[in-house]
Amino acid sequence: MANPAIVTVDDDPAVSRAVARDVRRRYGQEYRVVRASSGGEALDALKEIKLRGEQVAVLLADYRMPQMNGIQFLEAAMDLFPLARRVLLTAYADTEAAIDAINLVDVDHYLLKPWHPPEEKLYPVLDSLIEAWRATPASPETDTRVVGHRWSAESFEIRDFLARNMVPYRWYLSDEPEGRRLLAAAGSTESEIPLVITPDGKSLVRPSEAELATHVGLTTTPAADFYDLAVVGAGPGGLGAAVYGASEGLRTVLVERRATGGQAGQSSRIENYLGFPDGVSGAQLTDRARRQAQRFGAEILTTQDVTCLDVRGSARVLTCAGGPQIAAHTVILATGVSYRLLAVPGLAELTGRGVYYGSAATEAPACAGADVYIVGGANSAGQAAVYFSRYAQRVHLVVRGESLVQSMSAYLIDQIEAIGRIQVHTCTEVVAGHGQEHLEGLTLRDRHSGQTREVDASWLFVFIGAEPHTGWLDGMVERDRQGFVVTGPDLVIGGKRPAGWRLDRDPYHLETSIAGVFAAGDVRANSVKRVASAVGEGAMAVTLVHRYLESQ
């Protein structure tokens, strides 16, 4: 992080050099002196400093400058750096104007030219102003900054992407002072949000996830031409496979279309995972697994959506939507599942504007004091209800079934019953959503009586069902009616191996209908839908990968 700046502005080159020289002599070790020859040039410099997240301690501007005088410049500079101390340089004849500036524009001090000797006339003034600035400095911005609208679906997508990829960021509403200052510094308007400002000061207007990933330091393109193992999907199963594959010496690449963690990464609290007696959030577990895989040498690619799998001799080739192809001896499919859409009138157009799929933990603080509705009766919904109860005035858990016993772990049911803020509505379903700019209300229906009722609601989180990400495998590997990948013994029917199988052996336990291509975790047919099971299958698949490679 660069030192705070002291900015000097004067259109007279001799005066400009002199003031910069004197300031640098006294303060150059701790402050960066920025010299400009006009108000416009100085404002451009301030905008650049603002975008880089750096600070300005003092502004010194000459009163008599063409086009934009010193008072006009200092007034404009206040919009970017309101805490910076402001000094007006004036001639004796302009003393009255300087006094007016102090009263009207909140200038902190005025200095008469010439200010020699600086030890008597310049430094004491700057010393006191810098001391005052140090007492109330703004914190330097080292994180990515996002400026957006509260109910903007695009803004939510960007924040969710950064959060799930463990990229630190700060969120500013576009109608708040700092949000307006950042928009002004970037030369953008409210019609051009969301605006993302990277730590190096680059501003991105409505960036795609791939563009955003590139600018915040995520890897998006493969570094090698060929790998021993390519893992598709960075949920628990994929991360488990990457850790074990890389730790056992396989050249391993993990390809993820959005963010590591999958559904588990969105879980607010996992309390039944082995080795974490106090529980662990999905984000924490995901971050540890990701760092562990990278420590062993696994390469992790984000924002790469795999759309095709080809067999080319001994190679298995993955083609991504963005164009890159990834070739490997073996592939593990760990694409997991996603929450099924709640197909009722009025919700689709409000997705990201009050309607969310998964926990969307980034929204929790904004729910403070409000009623939150959660749809679902499995563990993920229960974990979300417990988490949101820390913020919301009341959490309403909407469940289609008669009770939670059939679908939720006992420990979660006990927690929910002990939290007074959580109300469980069994035999109830959401049949409609209402709202213009954002969700404003829901229609609930009692499944027994058929009666409906309207409730005010600005927040709805949906955790229903699971759909596998396997459409891109159509015609390549065998899947069941729901789209889950069939593996191992289930492929051998009546003693017959799958069509196109050329090896003189049955498929290994987690092997698909293509030799050398395996499936692990929730995407696999008849798998146990638990985090620990997915991790275990990822590790087991690597063992079978070794067996396959040894037989080639």
State the DSSP string of 433-450: EE-SSS--EEEEEETTT-
Q: Report how many domains make up the chain.
A: 4
Amino acid 73: pLDDT:
93
Placement of tokens 């709805």 in the chain: 460
Q: Within a 10 A sphere around the Cβ of 344, how many other Cβ atoms?
A: 16
- Which helix (H) or strand (E) element contains residue 112? strand 109-112
Of 413, 429, 462, the residue that ends a domain is: 462
Q: Is residue 533 included in any domain, yes or no?
A: yes
pLDDT band at 468 (very low <50, low <70, confident <90, very high): very high
Nearest to 396 by CA among 373, 413, 430: 373
Q: Is residue 342 included in any domain, yes or no?
A: no
Q: Is residue 341 included in any domain, yes or no?
A: no
Length of the chain: 552
Query: Which range, of 177-186, 276-285, 319-328, averages the lowest pLDDT?
Result: 276-285
Same domain, 540 and 455: no
Are 54 and 21 within 8 A, CB to CB? Answer: no
Are 291 and 279 within 8 A, CB to CB? Answer: no
> Whole-angstrom distance between the N-terminal and C-terminal Cα of the chain?
53
Same domain, 127 and 12: yes
Q: What is the CATH number of the domain that holds 374?
A: 3.50.50.60
Placement of tokens 């003189």 in the chain: 504
Q: Is residue 268 included in any domain, yes or no?
A: yes
Q: Which residues contact 27 (CB under 8 A, 6 or more apart)?
A: 6, 33, 126, 130
Of 184, 215, 246, the residue that ends a domain is: 215
3-state secondary structure of 453: strand
Same domain, 471 and 332: yes
Placement of tokens 């795999």 in the chain: 306
Taking the CA of residue 122 as centre, how many other CA atoms within 13 Å lie in the half-sphere pointing to its CB?
20
Written as six digits, the tokens of 261 are 């963690």
Same domain, 12 and 153: no
Q: What is the pLDDT of residues 239-298, one digit of tens each?
A: 999 999 999 999 999 999 988 888 788 777 888 888 888 888 888 899 999 999 999 999
User: Three-state secondary structure along 335-383?
Assistant: CCEECCCCCCCCCHHHECCCEEECCCHHHHHHHCCCEEEEECCCHHHHH
Same domain, 416 and 526: no
Amino acid occupying residue 483 = G
Residue 314 is part of which domain span? Answer: 226-336+467-551
- Which helix (H) or strand (E) element contains residue 121? helix 118-121
Amino acid 42: pLDDT:
96
Q: Is residue 429 included in any domain, yes or no?
A: yes
More confident residue, 38 or 269: 38
Are 438 and 349 within 8 A, CB to CB? Answer: no
The mean per-residue pLDDT over the stretch 435-458 comes to: 95
Q: What is the pLDDT of residues 75-93, one digit of tens each?
A: 899 889 999 999 988 887 6
CA 446 to chain centre: 37
pLDDT band at 105 (very low <50, low <70, confident <90, very high): low
Same domain, 274 and 355: no
pTM of the model: 0.80
Q: Which residues contact 349 (CB under 8 A, 6 or more apart)?
A: none
